[in-house]
Amino acid sequence: MNLAVERKPLRADAARNVDKIITAARKCFREFGPEVPLQTIAVTAGVGPATLFRNFADKEQLVLAALDRQLRSMVDPVIDQALEGSDAAGGLFHVIDALMAAASEDANLLGAVAGRRGLLTGITGSLMESLAVLLGRGQRQGTLRSDISMTDLTRLLAMLIGVVDTMEPGSDAWRRPVALVEDAIRTERPNRPLPPQSPLPGSAFAESGSGFA
């Protein structure tokens, strides 16, 4: 995934500092939530505030870098496998699964950029290009609905990412809505039961198979 802001090659010591800062940021966001102060991240990384701000002008740049690190680690290898595979529809949903797992693992990072649509453009561009390739292949293979556009897929993906706000961080409650989307856009519904239902955190409603009990 490409960051919105290109970074120049760093000296070895500077690269180590950037790595420590990003690692600390992911740890701090996970432990303290999206409002964690940059000072806390600097202390956790073992660097001074000046070093942090020399590499990241503000929290948004740091969040972008941390999200980019997560996507490169968890999603990029799955994209490569999907593009090399023969089953485009299956590959597309393997990528979506990997993206949702990454979003769940670092839910507080997403919380730090909630409502800032333009902020994520730089890390999602190549992802959407890959999904567009897989969508087109799946439609030509007859496994994905021919009337689904990339606009539809982009909105469906945004809706799925929003599911993270309705579940506990690290949960796999996203699997059920992803399965529902898969049922909707494949030409034939997969022959499998839906993943188990997960309750909404703090919900007063009891779930049943037919709605609210």
pLDDT tens, residue by residue, 164-202 = 889 888 899 999 999 999 999 999 999 999 999 988 887
**How far is it, in rounded angstroms, from Cα 117 to Cα 4?**
13
Q: Where in the chain is the domain with CATH 1.10.10?
A: 12-57
pLDDT tens, residue by residue, 109-130 = 887 776 555 556 666 778 899 9
What topology is assigned to 70-195 in CATH? Tetracycline Repressor; domain 2 (1.10.357)
Out of 1.10.287, 1.10.10, 3.40.1000, 3.40.50, the CATH code matching 12-57 is 1.10.10
pTM for the whole structure: 0.81
Contact (Cβ atoms closer than 8 angstroms) between residue 16 and residue 72: no
Q: Where in the chain is the domain with CATH 1.10.357?
A: 70-195
Identify the sign of the CA torsion 43, 45, 51, 57.
negative
